[in-house]
Structure 1
Amino acid sequence: MSETPLEGAAIRGAVDLSSLANRGAQHAPQKAPGQGQQQAAPATVESLVLDGTDQTVESFVELSMQVPVLVDLWAEWCGPCKQLTPVLEKVVTDLGGKVVLMKVDVDANPQLAQVFQAQSIPTVGVLLGGRPMQVFQGAVPEAQVREVLEQVLQIAAQNGITGSVTVSGATQNDEAAEPEPEPLPPLHQEAHDAVERGDFETAIAAYDKAIAQNPNDSDARAARAQVRLLVRVNGASLDEVRQAAASEPNSVEAQLAVADLDISGGHIDDAFDRLLTLFPTLDDDGKNTVRERLLELFEVVGSADTRVTKARARLSGLLF
């Protein structure tokens, strides 16, 4: 399984899966002539979007013998995850049973996170014929998610995995009766569409307008902070950033860069401790810069998170 660093290519879209086709073919079971064209009876699942755990993964491995199982590795505190997961759910639903989505909370399921080598989240993998593969990292636009799944389905077909699943109890009338989701406010929708296109600058500008119109719009503030983080880590090399921070321990910019990557990779306490330890050593301008970044990272993680509550209290003690 490949390890994709948190670089611009990983944030913008999918890695090329073509190399996995040959690797999968080497391990594919031998089939009698014509066997690849036969399809097993569709499996029945409760939903096309299911929660997976370290304890239930075996059932998904079995399911992956019939259809690809897309794996969404996420966490409650992860802002980019909240942007990507609805996109994954939409694309999988549109495929009508050709793919199943398994959602994995990495905080509660560290073994699965390790299996897919999730060094940062969101990470998206796939179970195919019982084999785990990591396919991309970061929040990517819907069009590129669809490209990934087209490649996954091609690889699945080459390995004789051409089945489908049905949803138990689902009918067309049931689907029609589902309530439409509440529409987003216009500026939020504009920003959402821009993120799906990978146009982060336009998304930030739209959220700026929303906040200007309503300074108490906490959703816009949190979403803007998440997109800003995506922009800052776009193209960043983890090794280079850490080396720069180690060689320049008093550099505000170098330490901020590491904190951003730590947040995006799930190392929340490390990021906050780094900046809060640096804070007392700085002049007034440096302190203001770090304070503003910390407040923005608090928005990314979420004000209700206990790690944010602890770090906010520590910051208050340093300020006063």
Structure 2
Amino acid sequence: MSVNPPQGSEQPQPQPESRSVNTQGAVDLSSLAPDGQAGQASAPAGAGAGAGAPGAQPGQPAQASGADSWVISVSPQELQQVVQLSSQVPVIVLIHGTDADSERMRTSLEDLVDAQQGRVLMAEIDASSPEMAQAQGADQVPVATAFIGGRPVGEFDKSVPQEQLGQLVSQMVQLATQNGMTQALPPQSKRSGGAAEETEQELPPLHQKAHDALEQGDLDAAQAAYEEAIRENPGDEDAKLGLSQVQLMQRTSDVDLNEARQKAAENPDDPQAQIAVADVDVLGGHVEDAFARLVKFIQLHQGDDRETVRAHLVELYSVVGDSDPRVQSSRKQLARALF
């Protein structure tokens, strides 16, 4: 079964040249892809073996019943074909086993990916397959690598709290939108039973309005929708997080990363130059680098510039999420820098 391209567009979207995340330590699967597959843009033969179909083998058709899904099971040899699809939508490649951690992460990601309705594709690789013995680090399951524009933009494993997985998937969609990837794939498989239909919840109207605006690349409309949601419910933490993320996208929409880094290097005492690099680093996934940059500035400066950077760092904490361990670690470093 071939992966169906987004309606009205079969041309690959531009690659996010300056938005890739440092993926040092990621599982290296590139050697498993046969020569000559890199240019293909169709799904592997196992595309029909979707989520919720335990034991499905590549080449078997999707089950006829169940909810639409954007999760496919693939073999390691088919990886490169799937990665090519990340020129159209973000792709998550999940290597999983049969252990409890794998099942929890797999189920959570399946629900989150399917909730995006084609804006993200997930390919699952069974770590028990003989071919995986060739992959460095493949025994460290579960592990997921995210791809946008044919490039890895980050890796996460079972150490990521369950509640943070949703933020990671949302950030992938937002990063793709920032790079002009606003279309969605049609369903690629079926999930057996009704579990997905029962767990999938509709977004509140204003959240859906913001989500739709992001799909269209209209950041101002997305901001307005989130602000209205907060006015209606000042305790709406999801809307606050969404607003912070949209504002980050607005600040970085016209930033050239190379120019920003050069300016920051040449002007170490300029708070706005350091803030600009921190913003693009957070958007691109270099969260720890962004936090460390601003904490260092706070350590070395006093007065209004120090307070400006401190306030911005706290705002970036809200973008990433207060429960994220990277935020918790940086808060401790900030406290030491201040006191």
Q: TM-score range with shorter-chain normalisation? A: 0.5 to 0.7
Q: 1:267 is matched with which residue?
A: 286
TM-score (normalised: structure 1): 0.57
Which structure is larger by alpha-carbon Rg, 1 or 2?
Answer: 1
- 1:134-169 CA distance string (max 9 Å, x none): xx992328x95438x69xxxxxxxxxxxxx9764x7
Question: 1:272: how far off?
Answer: 0.6
Mapped contact 2:298–2:338 kept (Cα < 8 A): no
Question: 1:309: how far off?
Answer: 0.3
**1:50 and 2:65 are equivalent in the alignment:** no
Mapped contact 1:233–1:261 kept (Cα < 8 A): yes
Q: Give the Cα separation in 2 of the matches to 1:265 and 1:177.
A: 30
Q: 1:157 is matched with which residue?
A: none
Q: 1:90 is matched with which residue?
A: 117
RMSD: 4.8
Letter in 1 for 2:228: K
Mapped contact 2:222–2:246 kept (Cα < 8 A): yes
Of 188, 194, 211 in structure 1, the residue corresponding to residue 230 of structure 2 is 211
**1:276 and 2:276 are equivalent in the alignment:** no
Identify if the C-alpha distance between structure 1 residues 61 and 45 changes in structure 2 by more than 3 Å, giving closer, same or farther.
farther
Greater CA drift, 308-317 or 248-257: 308-317
Taking the TM superposition and a 5 Å limit, the aligned residue runs for 1:286-297 are 286-297=305-316
Identify if the C-alpha distance between structure 1 residues 239 and 274 changes in structure 2 by more than 3 Å, giving closer, same or farther.
same
Identify if the C-alpha distance between structure 1 residues 113 and 92 changes in structure 2 by more than 3 Å, giving closer, same or farther.
closer
Taking the TM superposition and a 5 Å limit, the aligned residue runs for 1:1-320 are 4-6=16-18, 44-47=48-51, 48-50=69-71, 57-60=76-79, 72-73=91-92, 89-91=116-118, 101-102=122-123, 108-109=143-144, 116-118=150-152, 138-140=175-177, 145-146=182-183, 167=190, 170=192, 178-179=197-198, 181-320=200-339
Letter in 1 for 2:118: V
Q: Give the Cα separation in 2 of the matches to 1:229 and 1:183.
A: 25
Question: 1:282: how far off?
Answer: 3.4
SS of equivalent residue, structure 1 residue 102? strand
Identify if the C-alpha distance between structure 1 residues 237 and 74 changes in structure 2 by more than 3 Å, giving closer, same or farther.
farther
Q: Give the Cα separation in 2 of the matches to 1:114 and 1:183.
A: 26
Bigger RCO of structures 1 and 2 (CA < 8 A, at least 6 apart): 1
Mapped contact 1:42–1:165 kept (Cα < 8 A): no
Q: Give the Cα separation in 2 of the matches to 1:252 and 1:177.
A: 47
Q: Give the Cα separation in 2 of the matches to 1:166 and 1:185.
A: 27
SS of equivalent residue, structure 1 residue 235? coil
Identity %: 32
Identify if the C-alpha distance between structure 1 residues 310 and 101 changes in structure 2 by more than 3 Å, giving closer, same or farther.
closer
Letter in 2 for 1:91: G
Q: Give the Cα separation in 1 of the matches to 2:216 and 2:175.
A: 14
Structure 1 gaps, min length 5 = 8-23, 29-39, 76-81, 94-99, 122-135, 151-163
TM-score (normalised: structure 2): 0.54
Letter in 2 for 1:57: P
- 1:96-152 CA distance string (max 9 Å, x none): xxxx64379xx9456x8699433579xxxxxxxxxxxxxx992328x95438x69xx
Q: 1:18 is matched with which residue?
A: none
Question: 1:244: how far off?
Answer: 0.6
Mapped contact 1:279–1:290 kept (Cα < 8 A): yes
Identify if the C-alpha distance between structure 1 residues 115 and 49 changes in structure 2 by more than 3 Å, giving closer, same or farther.
same
Structure 2 gaps, min length 5 = 1-11, 20-35, 52-68, 95-108, 126-141, 156-172
Letter in 1 for 2:117: K
